[in-house]
Chains A and B, each alone.
Chain A
Amino acid sequence: MTQTFTILLPQTMLAACACLLILGSAFSVRPRRWGGLALAAVAASALCLAYVSSFSADDWAPDAASSVLVDSISIGYQWMCLGLAALFVLLSHEQAATKTSAEFYALLLFMFSGMMLVGSANELILIFLSLELISVPTYVLLYLGRRDPRSQEAALKYFLLSVLSAAVLLYGFSLLYGLAGTTNLDVIRNILAETYSKSDSAQVAAGGSVLGMVALVLIFAGLGFKVAAVPFHFYAPDVYQGTSAYNAGLLAIIPKAAGLVALIRVASETMVGFETSGERVALILAGITMTGGNCLGLLQSNIRRMLAYSSIAHAGYMLIGVAVGFWDSWNGDLSLDAAGGLPGGVGASLLYLFTYSLATVGLFGVLVYLARPGGRQIEHIDDLTGLVRTHPVMATCAALFLFSLAGVPPLPGFWGKLAVFASALSVRGESPGLFVEMHSGFMILAVVGVLNAAVGAVYYLRVVALMFLNDPVSSPQPSGGKPAFAAVCCSAVLLMGVGIFPTPLFTYLNRGVSQIAPATVRSPAGTLEPRPAAIHGHSVIAVQTQHDR
């Protein structure tokens, strides 16, 4: 039990501080103080995480049935969450300057706690719980801010659809539970691996049993809402447009990151025997999500609506990595390069998530920092016209973020895209045919992906052109306060740093994915056999002491 608590220390710390904030709000309403406290909570959580990551794999007592896990992905992902949390707390400097400031920060900390919990969860129920820990505060946050009809509508829309998607996801989880008889991911993987190695391989080749396939599709649907994949994206543009830039920034990052990690944990890593169906679903989702997001993004003139479609399109790129992840786990090697150089599909997807989050938090930070004269927030992209004359630093940072999202080297967005496309092109086909070497599906997906990158560049470039090539019509006012300014500059500096020196990131990711041993290896003879238990899954490092239970 103690080890489970140790692993969950960072999340617990955030949640505990959030509770303290809510209690404290009864006694004081001074907003600045709460901001500082929230930042302190993030720092305390970072200390806890540093403590957790100081253990090596051997220090944990192994247990295949643990409800939490530690691996490089979870550690790296949690560091990313804490970094984002710090940036978001800084950005909120003026957002939270109201009577409800303590509640605001408490909700923010709850959300980030849930976001981090997804990375450590090794249980269907824990994953569902952590997703709800993100959703419930989001509903409140959406209501807290503005009170005009439009934001009310956005909040209600998000609430209803989110509840629906939670139900769908839960249904998928319950079917998966029905299939395996347990909620523990490692055990599910073991059981599925055993089942599908014994049954005839024709069924495996066809994509697994019908029950499992239904579960898989429902899980994709439920988590597709979180990552805003087409056709589960309909809420995103309306909600982003209806709410404040700050909330839109949260929505663009937290549910997407948590959904992606949950998808990787539950689907790519766990559902052994369903790789082929998972791969197909992810392939199709990725293709239509990228294309749909980018094409509709072209038509937008509201900046948050445009960024909503951009975030949808980026979810598509991440799904390419997920699709490749299925192929990787079928082939018994999650790392694309056996010699150890490149991240595989899952790693590429997570790298993409990181680069996307970094650029997105910065971009929304610029929108939070700036306001139109009169204090209203930036709505139309024309409000940014000639920004370089009035706010040169903000304009330069915004251009960097936009170019990174467009994937211009050597900014991080490019490395993300490169990793994703590279992972797709590394997949090779089943039989010699027209597309001899490449797997035709992945080859087409990669081509669709790069064409999408060019299409996406159009609307990012339009904003850059407005900011740099036109004379200002109105001059936006800085309304976000100095901390927000600092947060934007921080992300820009980090962006440049990661862009020019991506090596540590690749090295870390490669270590991260190589630590997850998939359940099966495909032997040269073409049969599917379960891995020996000793090197199975997270069990090497997943923990819970024997006397815990």
Chain B
Amino acid sequence: MSDNALLSLIIFLPTIGALGLMCFNAKAEEAMRNFALVITAATFVLTLLLLGRFDPAQAGVQLKVLAEWIPNWNVNYFLGVDGISLPLVLLTSLISLLGMLASWSVKKQIRGYLILYLLLETGMLGVFLALDFFLFYVFWEVMLLPMYFLIGIWGGPRREYAAIKFFLYTLAGSVLMLIALLMFYFGSGADRTFDLIRLAEIGQGRVPGVQFSEFVQITAFILLFIGFAIKVPVFPFHTWLPDAHVEAPTPISMILAGVLLKMGGYGILRVAFPICPVGAQYAAYCLVLLGVISILYGAFAAMAQTDFKRLVAYSSVSHMGYVLLGIAVWKLADPNLGTTAGAEYWESGINAAMFQMLAHGISSAGMFFMVGVIYDRVHHRDLNQFGGLMGLMPEYGGLAVGIFFAGLGLPGLCGFIGEVFSVLSAWNYSPLLAILSAAGVILTAGYILWAVQRVYLGPEYKGPHREDITPMNGREASVGYVLLAFAIILGVYPESMFGLMRETNKQLVVNMTEGYENSKKNAPKVSAVTPDLGEGVLFDPIAIPANPGAGALAPAIRGR
């Protein structure tokens, strides 16, 4: 299979499956479930093929696919993978497969559910594989609609409120992204482009004659960051998350926590950082601070919950804080020259952030699944009424404790690596913030151990629906075992993921430090020659034409 076909098939196989579902008899629910499961499994296999073709020793984007989509706007169907996107693509297809296995608990309107689920998978994979900013934006929005309906139709009692809140938060973020997108587009020189790689080169000052000014970089970064921060979610923008996670059905919670939150981090690494190094450096302290606040706030909020699912939801806020912390620990040695201090710490921070995203994808999906399994049996999630489940469901109890420990960050399990490395890399940036974030680790241990104690340990469960408690069935157990296995593999052998992303992240750090130095170097020089070039050229985002006198219609001198 050619590279073209492979990447496109990964994205659109679920859509083909969704179309295929329409041919089924509405009564054949079991057949439709199995068909959808086969489709997600096939998608997972395809992403494994992708992994086989990927060369981890190479830093740039590989397996590119390029086709015209809307030539008027120079929008292309441009796909590719690198070390940042590949692990997330694998995570997406894995969690989608496991979520599909968990979807047997969804009972009503199966066909609609499965169709939307598969469309959602297309949207998610599209976001991670798109290298054209416009395509990225379209997939970003495409993913929004199925999610809205999946929460709104199949969710819990307050589903409508949760669905609308989720939709509006994300939409508000994405319209801000739209502005940034257009700013880049009009600033990208005479041959305007949405190509993320080209835009990054322009932002880093590696394209002669075109450069986003500091103003554009800072403004665009703030706009983009708000859009992505809503998705992560970062502290002041997180309020949609507890509602959406709690109301969504179990498999959708798994996807929300396992994949959708990663889009925020991915967007920062793929779009906001490379294109706006100046903006990123400008906001770095704020980002780290917000990360630390999210860690602490999420942990305290989780500790205060009595609803099991809400606790897990707030733990996501806390865990995703480490991602932001790791990404943003970019310290300057000399602000005037723009030289970076301890780039290797920053690089390890980005690696840690990426790893934390993957680890959280596994552990939080697992935690939501474990909550869902018990909710299906006892139909409540009140922590104060649980207790002693270990005795009744030993297999479930064991798996659940394992996965919660992975979330806690127990050494040897996946959560540990990401947390500890992002805290370590933060020390170079600011010891104070590093200490505060390390305190988050203790709080995490606190609320998770307390939850484990209240739910699984103690005297035998006497709460509602005691008689309905049955052991896990084979399907549920397989989801649990797979997640726990991945938690252990990642924890014991983190190199499996670090190996994929190392070169790309190293390149990202090099590019961004150079980009920042370039714009510091260029800024005074350009202003010195400004009088010769004429009015408006100094900070002009539109191409500085090779020949400034090239006619009245040349874009650069159209301003009045």
| Neighbour of B178 across the interface among A431, A450, A507, CB < 8 A | A450
Q: With A341-B73, A523-B552, A524-B552 as known contacts, state yes or no: A437 contacts B171, CB within 8 Å.
A: no
Q: Mark A384-409, 1 if CB is under 8 A from B, else 0.
A: 00000000000000000001000011
| Neighbour of B182 across the interface among A425, A462, A523, CB < 8 A | A425
- Residues from chain B with Cβ under 8 Å of A507 in the complex: 72
A510–B554 touching, CB < 8 Å = no
Nearest chain A residue, comparing its CB with the CB of B186: A426
B142–A409 touching, CB < 8 Å = yes
A503–B72 touching, CB < 8 Å = yes
**Interface residue ranges of B515-560 to A (CB < 8 Å):** 535-536, 538-542, 549, 552-555, 557-560
B137–A341 touching, CB < 8 Å = no
- Residues from chain B with Cβ under 8 Å of A104 in the complex: none
Report how far A425 CA is from B541 CA in the complex, Å: 12
A330–B560 touching, CB < 8 Å = yes
Q: Mark B161-188, 1 if CB is under 8 A from A, else 0.
A: 0011001100110011011001101110
A465–B559 touching, CB < 8 Å = no
Whether a CB of chain B sits under 8 angstroms from the CB of A331 is: yes
B213–A436 touching, CB < 8 Å = yes
Q: With A422-B185, A428-B536, A450-B178 as known contacts, state yes or no: A468 contacts B149, CB within 8 Å.
A: yes
The distance from the CB of A329 to the nearest CB of chain B, in whole angstroms, is: 12
B539–A338 touching, CB < 8 Å = no
Chain A binder among B59-67, B152-160, B349-357, B405-413: B152-160
- Residues from chain A with Cβ under 8 Å of B172 in the complex: 451, 454
30 residue pairs bridging A and B, Cβ less than 8 Å apart: A331-B558, A337-B555, A338-B554, A341-B73, A403-B145, A408-B144, A408-B145, A409-B142, A418-B182, A426-B186, A431-B535, A432-B535, A435-B215, A436-B215, A437-B542, A447-B179, A450-B178, A454-B172, A457-B171, A458-B164, A462-B164, A469-B159, A469-B163, A502-B70, A503-B70, A503-B72, A506-B72, A510-B72, A524-B549, A524-B552
A465–B176 touching, CB < 8 Å = no
- Residues from chain B with Cβ under 8 Å of A436 in the complex: 213, 215, 538-539
The distance from the CB of A277 to the nearest CB of chain B, in whole angstroms, is: 14
Q: Mark A431-464, 1 if CB is under 8 A from B, else 0.
A: 1100111110000001100110110011001100
Nearest chain B residue, comparing its CB with the CB of A406: B171
- Residues from chain B with Cβ under 8 Å of A430 in the complex: 559-560
- Residues from chain A with Cβ under 8 Å of B558 in the complex: 331, 333, 428
Chain A count of residues within 8 A CB distance of the other chain: 53
- Residues from chain B with Cβ under 8 Å of A472 in the complex: none
Q: With A425-B179, A447-B179 as known contacts, state yes or no: A331 contacts B560, CB within 8 Å.
A: yes
Whether a CB of chain B sits under 8 angstroms from the CB of A342 is: yes
| Neighbour of B538 across the interface among A432, A435, A524, CB < 8 A | A432
Q: Mark A413-432, 1 if CB is under 8 A from B, else 0.
A: 01000100110011011111
Whether a CB of chain A sits under 8 angstroms from the CB of B236 is: no
Nearest chain A residue, comparing its CB with the CB of B560: A430
Q: Mark B186-215, 1 if CB is under 8 A from A, else 0.
A: 110010100000000000000000000101
The distance from the CB of A524 to the nearest CB of chain B, in whole angstroms, is: 6
Report how far A337 CA is from B142 CA in the complex, Å: 28
A446–B179 touching, CB < 8 Å = yes
Whether a CB of chain A sits under 8 angstroms from the CB of B290 is: no
Q: Mark A337-378, 1 if CB is under 8 A from B, else 0.
A: 111011000000000000000000000000000000000000
Q: Mark A124-165, 1 if CB is under 8 A from B, else 0.
A: 000000000000000000000000000000000000000000
**Interface residue ranges of A472-504 to B (CB < 8 Å):** 502-503
Whether a CB of chain B sits under 8 angstroms from the CB of A76 is: no
- Residues from chain A with Cβ under 8 Å of B557 in the complex: 524
A437–B539 touching, CB < 8 Å = yes
Q: A342-B72, A454-B168, A461-B168 are in contact. List 11 more A-B contacts (CB 8 A).
A: A337-B555, A422-B182, A425-B186, A432-B539, A437-B539, A437-B541, A439-B559, A458-B164, A461-B167, A470-B160, A506-B73
- Residues from chain B with Cβ under 8 Å of A428 in the complex: 536, 540, 542, 558-559
- Residues from chain A with Cβ under 8 Å of B16 in the complex: none
Whether a CB of chain B sits under 8 angstroms from the CB of A332 is: yes
The distance from the CB of B261 to the nearest CB of chain A, in whole angstroms, is: 21
Whether a CB of chain A sits under 8 angstroms from the CB of B216 is: yes
Whether a CB of chain B sits under 8 angstroms from the CB of A83 is: no
- Residues from chain A with Cβ under 8 Å of B549 in the complex: 524
- Residues from chain A with Cβ under 8 Å of B171 in the complex: 453-454, 457
- Residues from chain A with Cβ under 8 Å of B175 in the complex: 450-451, 453-454
Whether a CB of chain B sits under 8 angstroms from the CB of A521 is: yes
Report how far A275 CA is from B536 CA in the complex, Å: 21
Task: List 10 A-B pairs, minimum CB-CB distance, nearest first.
Answer: A506-B72, A450-B175, A436-B539, A428-B559, A469-B152, A338-B553, A454-B172, A425-B182, A437-B541, A409-B138
Whether a CB of chain A sits under 8 angstroms from the CB of B74 is: yes
A341–B164 touching, CB < 8 Å = no
Whether a CB of chain B sits under 8 angstroms from the CB of A522 is: yes
Among B144, B152, B559: residue with most chain A CB under 10 A: B559
Report how far A428 CA is from B552 CA in the complex, Å: 15
Whether a CB of chain B sits under 8 angstroms from the CB of A62 is: no
- Residues from chain B with Cβ under 8 Å of A450 in the complex: 175-176, 178-179
Nearest chain B residue, comparing its CB with the CB of A422: B182
Among B167, B178, B187, B535: residue with most chain A CB under 10 A: B178
Whether a CB of chain A sits under 8 angstroms from the CB of B474 is: no
Report how far A524 CA is from B164 CA in the complex, Å: 51
Whether a CB of chain A sits under 8 angstroms from the CB of B514 is: no
The distance from the CB of B183 to the nearest CB of chain A, in whole angstroms, is: 6
A469–B555 touching, CB < 8 Å = no
Report how far A510 CA is from B70 CA in the complex, Å: 14
Whether a CB of chain A sits under 8 angstroms from the CB of B141 is: yes
- Residues from chain A with Cβ under 8 Å of B52 in the complex: none
B560–A457 touching, CB < 8 Å = no
